[in-house]
Structure 1
Amino acid sequence: MALQPDMDRLYDQLVEEEDTRVCKDIPDAACSNVPTNFFRQVAAIVLTGLGDTLANPKTTLAWLLGIVGAPTAMVAWLVPIRDSGSMLPQLFIATYIRQQPLRKPLWVIGSLAQAAALLAMGAAAWLTEGWLAGLLILGCLALFSLARSVCSVAIKDVMGKTIPKTRRGRMHGMASTVAGTLALVFGVYLMLRPPADDNVLFYALLLVGSSMLWIVAAIIYQHVEETPGATEGGGSAIREALSRISLMRDDLPFRRFVLTRALLLCSALSAPYYVVLGQEVESSLSMLGAFLVANGLANSLSSMFWGRMADLSSRQVLTRAGLLASLLAPVVVGLYWWGSLPASAQPWLFPAAFFVLGIAHSGIRVGRKTYVLDMAGGNKRTDYVAVSNSIIGLLLLSAGFLGLLTTLIGPDGMLLLLSGLGLCGALLSLKLKEVQS
Structure 2
Amino acid sequence: MTESSKAQSNSKNTASTVEAVYQSLTSEDDGRVCKDIPETACRHQPKNVVTHVISLTSTKIADGLIDPKLILSWLLSALGASSFMIGLLVPIREAGALLPQLFTAGALRRLPQRKWAWAAGSFVQGACAAGMALSALLLEATTAGWAILILLAILAVARSVCSVSYKDVLGKTVSKSMRGRTTGLAASIAAGAVIAFALLLSSGLIEKQSLVIAGLLVAGALWIFASVMFSSLAEEKGATEGGGNPLTVARENFSLLVKDKQLIRFITVRGLLIATALAPPFMVALSGNTDSGNGLQQSGFNNLLSGLGPLVLASALASLLSSYIWGHLSDRSSRKVLMYSGLFAALALALTAGFDWQGWLQISAVLPGLLFLLMIAYHGVRLGRSTHLVDMADAENRAAYTALSNTIIGILLLAGAVFSVIAEYFGLRAVMIVMALMCLLSSWVALGLKEVQQE
Query: Does residue 43 of structure 1 match 2:54?
Result: yes
Following TM superposition, by how much is the alpha carbon of 1:158 offset from its aligned partner in structure 2, in angstroms? 0.6
Following TM superposition, by how much is the alpha carbon of 1:313 offset from its aligned partner in structure 2, in angstroms? 0.4
Following TM superposition, by how much is the alpha carbon of 1:360 offset from its aligned partner in structure 2, in angstroms? 0.8
CA distance in 2, matches of 1:33, 1:5: 14
What is the match of residue 242 of structure 1? 251
**What letter matches 2:58 in structure 1?**
L
1:59 match: secondary structure: helix
Following TM superposition, by how much is the alpha carbon of 1:76 offset from its aligned partner in structure 2, in angstroms? 1.0
Following TM superposition, by how much is the alpha carbon of 1:436 offset from its aligned partner in structure 2, in angstroms? 0.2
Task: For residues 5-51 of structure 1, give each alpha carbon's deviation from its aligned partner in whole angstroms, at most 9, with x where no partner exists.
Answer: 33223312322424746101111101011111111111111111111
1:212 match: secondary structure: helix
8 Å contact kept, 2:257–2:263: yes
8 Å contact kept, 1:275–1:291: no
Residues 202, 132 of structure 1: CA spacing in aligned structure 2 closer, same or farther, 3 A cutoff?
same
Residues 61, 9 of structure 1: CA spacing in aligned structure 2 closer, same or farther, 3 A cutoff?
closer
What is the match of residue 8 of structure 2? none
Aligned counterpart for 2:89 among listed residues 67, 71, 78: 78
Following TM superposition, by how much is the alpha carbon of 1:331 offset from its aligned partner in structure 2, in angstroms? 2.5
Aligned counterpart for 1:385 among listed residues 402, 410, 429: 402
Instruction: Please list, as runs of the form range in 1=range in 2, the aligned pairs for 1:321-336 lying within 5 A after superposition.
Output: 321-336=341-356
Following TM superposition, by how much is the alpha carbon of 1:392 offset from its aligned partner in structure 2, in angstroms? 0.5
8 Å contact kept, 2:257–2:264: yes
What is the match of residue 70 of structure 2? 59
Instruction: Please list, as runs of the form range in 1=range in 2, the aligned pairs for 1:77-156 lying within 5 A after superposition.
Output: 77-156=88-167
CA distance in 2, matches of 1:70, 1:6: 48
Residues 279, 188 of structure 1: CA spacing in aligned structure 2 closer, same or farther, 3 A cutoff?
farther
**What letter matches 1:238 in structure 2?**
L
1:391 match: secondary structure: helix
1:233 match: secondary structure: coil
Following TM superposition, by how much is the alpha carbon of 1:275 offset from its aligned partner in structure 2, in angstroms? 2.0
Aligned counterpart for 1:354 among listed residues 367, 371, 374: 371
Aligned counterpart for 1:421 among listed residues 434, 438, 441: 438
Task: For residues 167-216 of structure 1, give each alpha carbon's deviation from its aligned partner in whole angstroms, at most 9, with x where no partner exists.
Answer: 1111111111111111111111111127657x4x4443322221011011
Residues 206, 6 of structure 1: CA spacing in aligned structure 2 closer, same or farther, 3 A cutoff?
closer
What is the match of residue 416 of structure 2? 399
CA distance in 2, matches of 1:121, 1:88: 23
Task: For residues 196-246 of structure 1, give each alpha carbon's deviation from its aligned partner in whole angstroms, at most 9, with x where no partner exists.
Answer: 57x4x4443322221011011112111111110111113211111111111
Q: Which moved more, 1:55-64 or 1:328-337?
A: 328-337
1:58 match: secondary structure: helix
8 Å contact kept, 2:389–2:401: yes
CA distance in 1, matches of 2:257, 2:438: 20
CA distance in 2, matches of 1:235, 1:269: 35
Following TM superposition, by how much is the alpha carbon of 1:264 offset from its aligned partner in structure 2, in angstroms? 0.9
**What letter matches 1:311 in structure 2?**
D
What is the match of residue 276 of structure 1? 285
**What letter matches 1:133 in structure 2?**
A
**What letter matches 1:407 in structure 2?**
E
What is the match of residue 30 of structure 1? 41
1:335 match: secondary structure: helix
Task: For residues 228-281 of structure 1, give each alpha carbon's deviation from its aligned partner in whole angstroms, at most 9, with x where no partner exists.
Answer: 011111321111111111112321000100011000111111122222233458
What is the match of residue 262 of structure 1? 271
Query: Does residue 316 of structure 1 match 2:336?
Result: yes
What is the match of residue 299 of structure 1? 319
Following TM superposition, by how much is the alpha carbon of 1:365 offset from its aligned partner in structure 2, in angstroms? 0.7
Task: For residues 261-303 of structure 1, give each alpha carbon's deviation from its aligned partner in whole angstroms, at most 9, with x where no partner exists.
Answer: 0001111111222222334589486633222111111111111
Query: Does residue 253 of structure 1 match 2:262?
Result: yes
TM-score with structure 1 length normalisation?
0.94
Number of equivalences: 432
**What letter matches 2:181 in structure 1?**
R
1:378 match: secondary structure: coil
CA distance in 2, matches of 1:209, 1:26: 35
2:146 match: secondary structure: helix
**What letter matches 1:350 in structure 2?**
L
8 Å contact kept, 1:328–1:357: yes
Q: Which moved more, 1:226-235 or 1:66-75?
A: 66-75
**What letter matches 1:39 in structure 2?**
V
CA distance in 1, matches of 2:267, 2:21: 36
2:416 match: secondary structure: helix
Residues 378, 284 of structure 1: CA spacing in aligned structure 2 closer, same or farther, 3 A cutoff?
closer
Task: For residues 99-149 of structure 1, give each alpha carbon's deviation from its aligned partner in whole angstroms, at most 9, with x where no partner exists.
Answer: 111001111111111111122222222222232222211111111111111
Aligned counterpart for 1:430 among listed residues 447, 450, 455: 447
Following TM superposition, by how much is the alpha carbon of 1:70 offset from its aligned partner in structure 2, in angstroms? 2.0
Residues 249, 334 of structure 1: CA spacing in aligned structure 2 closer, same or farther, 3 A cutoff?
same
Return 5+ residue gaps in structure 2 as ranges.
1-10, 291-299
**What letter matches 1:251 in structure 2?**
D
2:106 match: secondary structure: helix
8 Å contact kept, 2:106–2:249: yes
What is the match of residue 206 of structure 1? 215
8 Å contact kept, 1:192–1:286: no
**Identity score, percent:** 38
**What letter matches 2:318 in structure 1?**
A
What is the match of residue 188 of structure 1? 199
